[in-house]
A and B are shown apart, each in its own frame.
Chain A
Amino acid sequence: MQMTKIVRTTADLFYPFCLTFGLYVVLHGHLSPGGGFQGGAVMATGIALLLVSRHYADITRYIRKNAMSLCEAVGLLMFIVLGLSGLVLGGSFLQNHLAGSGSWLFGSTVGPGPDPGTLATSGTVALLNLAVGIEVFGGLSIILLYMLSGLEEDTP
C-alpha cells in the first residue's frame, strides 16, 4: 500500500523528529512525564508512520525484523547488566551506584533545596530508561512489522 506523495513526504520529514522526540522522552524520564516505555513507543510510532505511508517491501529494505529483534535483545541485556552492576559496585541489585558519585556519566550531585534537577543527576536511572527505550522500540516495531505485513495482500 502506498499513500499519496503528500503523505509520504510528510512522513519522511516527520520521521527523524519523531525519533528525536522519542529519545528526548526516554532520556528525560527522571525529570518529566514519560520514560523508557513511553519514549520507546513514540520512537516506534515513527516506524508506524513510514509503514502506513509506503509499500511494506520498500520499508523492510531499510527496517529489518532482524535488526529490531537485536534492539530488543540488546535493550533487555543492558537492563539486566545495569542491575547486576548495582550488585557488584553498589550494595544490592539495581542499586543506583552512579547517583551523586561525581562521575561524568549522570553522576552530578544535586544541591540542597528545591531543585528540579538536571539530566546529569539521575545516576543509573537514565541508563535504565535508555535500555527500556531501546527494548520497547525494538519490540513494538517488530509487532508493527508483523501486524502490518498483512496489508500488502489487501491491495492489488
Chain B
Amino acid sequence: MFSFCIRHLPALLIAAPLFTAFVVPLAGRLGSRVRAAWVALGAFATAGIGFALAAKVLGSGPVTYVFGALDHAQTLGAAAAFPIRIMFEVDAFSALMILISSLSSLAITIYSLAAESRQSGLDIFYAMLFLLVAGVLGMVATGDLFNFFVFLEISSLAGAALVAYRIDEGVAVEAGLKYALLSTIGALSVLIAIGILFAQYNALNLAAVASRLQFGTLDKIALVLLAVPLAMKAGAVPMHFWTPDSYAAAPSSVTAFLVVSSQASLYALFRILYTLYGHLLQFSWVTFGWFLIILGVLSAFVGVTMALTQKDVKRLMAYHSVSQTGYMLLGAGVALAVLGNAEALAAFGKTALAGALFHMFNNALYKGLLFLTAGAVFYRTGTRNLDRLGGLGHTMPWTMAFFMIGALAIAGIPPFNGFASKLLIYESVYRLSPFLSILAMVVSILTLASFVKVFHAMFLGPPRAEYAEAREVPRPMLAGMAILAAFVVLIGLLPRPFNDHMIAPAVEALLDRVGYIATILGGS
C-alpha cells in the first residue's frame, strides 16, 4: 500500500485536492462540522502528498508520471516520433514549487477554517480553494505545454471566483471580473503560442518541443506571447495593475494563496526561458536577460514607491508583492544574461538564480504571513483603512508578533528568511552591475520604512474606544499564521541547509536543460 502510494505520488498530488474539492459540496450537506473536518483532512492529505513527492524528488532525482498509460513510468524514449502522452515531470525546481504550494495551502486552509466560518456559501469557497490548489500544483508539476494551459485556466477561474467571493458592494465583483478578464487574455495568448509551437514541431510535450526547437521567427513570436502574459500573471510592473485590486478584494486567506499562484506563473516563465529556449542563441540571451532585469528593477522600484502612499493595508501589501516579484525577476534575469558565459555563470550567475528561487520560497512564506495578519486585523476590526486602525497591540499581541516577524522578513532584516535570499541577490547582482544592487538595497530600505508605518498605524498608540471589543483571533487562525512564522524564523536562522538541499538542486535542475529533455526522451 505504502509503495503503491509512493509510485503514484504525482497523480495523487492532483487527485487529492480535486477529490477534496468535489466532495466538499456533499460534505456540506451533512453540516458545517463535517465539512470543516473534511476540508482539514483534505488539506493535510494534499500537503502530505506534496511533501512526500518533493522529498522523493530531492532524494532520488526527477520523477515522471504518464497519465492513462499501462505503465506510468514508461516515458517516450528517443525513438518516439509522436510524443503524445500526457505526463508530469517533477524535477528539483518543480519540487521546490510543490513544497511552497503545499506549505502555504496547509497554513491557509487551517486559517480559513476559522476566518471564513461566519460567511455563507462555504461549500463553493472550499471547492474553489482546493481547485486553485490543484491548478497551481498542476502548473508546477506538468511536463506538457497544453496541460500547463489547462491548469493555468483552472487556477485563473478558481482564483477569479475566489476574488469575487466576498460581495463587497460590487468592489470584489469588479476585482474578480478584472482578474478573470486579464487571466483569460493572458491564457489565450499562451494558447496561441502553444499553437504556434505545436504547428511547427508536432509536439506538446515540453521536453520534446525543447529538443526540436529551431528558434526561427515564429518561435520568437511564441516566446513573446508566452513571456508577457506569464509576467503579467506574476505581477511584473507594466502589467501589475490587477494585483492591488484583486489582492485587496479577496479574503485574506485567498490572497495569501494568490501570491503562490503568481509564483507558479513565475515558475512557468523561468521554465520556458531556461528549459524551453535556454541554450539557443546564447549571445542574444544577453538581451532577453536584460529584459527580465529591467522588468525586475521596474517592479521592485515602482511597487515599493506605490506602496508608500497606500492607506488600505491590503493594497499596500499587494504593491509590496509586486516589489518582491521584482527581486526574483532581477535575480533570474542576471543569470539569464550570463547564461552563455560559463565563467560568469559559475562566478555569480548561479548565485543570482539561487537568490531568485530562494526568494520565491521566502516570499510565499512571509507575504502569506503578512496577508494573514492583515486578515486577522480585518476579522476583528472590520476595516483595512490604516487611518482608522490603531492601538491593536494591546489586545492582539500574537497577531502583532506575527506581523513583526513578517515585516522584518520582507524588509530583509537578519535573522529572518528575507535576509538570506536578498543577500544572495545583492552579492551576485553587484558583480554584473553595482548600480542594480544599490537600487535593490534602496528598495529594501523603502520597504522597511513602509512597514514601520503600517506597524505604527495598526498596533501602536493608545487603545482605541471603537476597538475595545477586539480580542485575539481564534486559535485556528493563529495556528495558520504560526506555521508560516515558524518557517520564516527557522529559515532565517538556518539558511544553509535549506539552500544546500532545496535551492541548489533546483538551480541545477533549471540550468540543466539537456537533463530535463533526457528524462523524457532518453539520452539523445
Q: Is B280 an interface residue (CB 8 A)?
A: no
Q: Which residues 78-103 in A have Cβ within 8 Å of B in the complex?
A: 79-80, 83-84, 86-87, 90-96
Q: Is the CB of A91 within 8 A of B69?
A: yes
Q: Closest residue of chain A to B87, judged by CB?
A: A92
Question: What is the chain B residue whose CB lies nearest that of A79?
Answer: B22
Contact flag A94-B67 (CB < 8 Å), given A69-B25, A77-B22: yes
Q: Which residues of A contact B496 (CB under 8 A)?
A: none
B14 surroundings in chain A (CB, below 8 A):
93
- Check if B26 sits within 8 Å of A92, measured CB to CB: no
Cβ proximity bits B1-39 to A, threshold 8 Å, 1 near / 0 not: 000000010011011001101110110000000000000
- CB-nearest residue of chain B to A96: B68
Least CB separation from A95: chain B residue? B68
Partner of B19, one of A70, A80, A92: A80
- Contacting pair A87 B11 (CB below 8 A): yes
Name the residue on A nearest B86 (C-beta): A94
Q: Is the CB of B23 within 8 A of A92?
A: no
Q: From residue A143, how far is it (CB to closest CB) to chain B in Å? A: 13
Q: Is B419 at the interface (CB under 8 A from chain A)? A: no
B65 contacts partner chain A, Cβ-Cβ < 8 Å: yes
> What are some 15 contacts across the A-B interface (CB < 8 A)?
A70-B26, A73-B26, A76-B21, A77-B19, A77-B26, A80-B18, A84-B19, A86-B68, A87-B15, A92-B69, A92-B71, A92-B72, A93-B8, A94-B67, A96-B68
Near A by CB (< 8 A), chain B positions 67-88 give 67-72
Residue in B8, B18, B21 whose CB lies within 8 Å of A92: B8
Asked, given contacts A86-B68, A92-B65, A92-B68, whether A77 binds B15 with beta carbons under 8 Å apart, the answer is no
Interface flags for B446-482 (1: CB within 8 Å of A; 0: not) read 0000000000000000000000000000000000000
A83 to B69, CA, bound (A): 12
CB-defined contacts of B66 to chain A, threshold 8 Å: 92
Q: Judging by beta carbons under 8 Å apart, are B67 and A92 in contact?
A: yes
CA distance A72 to B26 in the complex (A): 10
Contact of A91 among B12, B15, B72 (CB under 8 A): B72
Residues of B within 8 A of A83 (CB): 11, 15
When distances are taken between beta carbons in the complex, the residues of chain B under 8 Å from A69 are 25
Residues of chain A lying within 8 A (CB to CB) of residue B19: 77, 80, 84
Chain A contacts for B26, CB-based, 8 A? 70, 73, 77
A154 to B12, CA, bound (A): 49
> In the bound complex, do residue B22 and residue A80 qualify as a contact, i.e. CB atoms below 8 Å apart?
yes
For window 43-85 of B, CB contacts with A under 8 Å fall at 65-72
Quote the shortest CB–CB distance from A133 to chain B (angstroms). Answer: 16
Closest to B66 in A: A92
> What residues of chain A lie closer than 8 Å to B18, measured between beta carbons?
80
List 14 additional A-B contacts (Cβ < 8 Å) besides A77-B22, A93-B14: A76-B22, A77-B26, A79-B22, A83-B11, A84-B19, A87-B11, A87-B12, A91-B70, A91-B72, A92-B66, A92-B67, A93-B67, A93-B68, A96-B68
Docked complex: A97-151 residues within 8 A CB-CB of B: none
Pick from A73, A80, A95: contact of B70, CB under 8 Å: A95
CB distance from A96 to the nearest CB of B (A): 7
Give which listed residue, A73, A93, A96, contacts B22 with CB less than 8 A.
A73
**Smallest CB-CB A-B distances: 7 pairs:** A92-B72, A93-B11, A76-B22, A73-B25, A91-B70, A94-B68, A77-B22
Q: Which of B15, B23, B65, B70 contacts A90 (CB 8 A)?
A: B70
Chain A hits for B11, CB < 8 A: 83, 87, 92-93
Cα–Cα distance between A73 and B25 once the two chains are bound (Å): 7
Cα-based distance from A92 to B87 in the complex (angstroms):
11
Please name all residues of chain B whose beta carbon is closer than 8 Å to the beta carbon of A86 when the two chains form the complex.
68
A72–B29 Cα distance when bound, in Å, is: 14
Least Cβ–Cβ distance between A64 and chain B, in angstroms: 13
**Contact residues in B for A95 (Cβ distance below 8 Å):** 68-70
**What string of 1s and 0s marks CB contacts (under 8 Å) between B418-440 and chain A?**
00000000000000000000000
Which residues of the partner chain B approach A79 to less than 8 Å between Cβ atoms?
22
Minimum distance in angstroms from A13 CB to a CB of chain B? 34
Using A86-B68, A87-B8 as known contacts, say yes or no to A93 and B15 having CB atoms under 8 A apart.
yes
A20 to chain B, nearest CB (A): 27
Q: Name the residue on A nearest B123 (C-beta).
A: A69
Give B239-254 interface residues, CB cut-off 8 Å to A. Answer: none
Cβ-closest chain B residue relative to A97: B70
Residues of chain A contacted by B68 (CB below 8 angstroms): 86, 92-96
- A94: chain B residues at CB < 8 Å are 67-68
Would A72 and B71 count as touching, CB distance under 8 A?
no
CB proximity of B39 to chain A, nearest CB, Å? 15
* Contact partners of B22 in chain A: CB under 8 A: 73, 76-77, 79-80
Interface centre among A69, A90, A93 (most CB of B within 10 A): A93
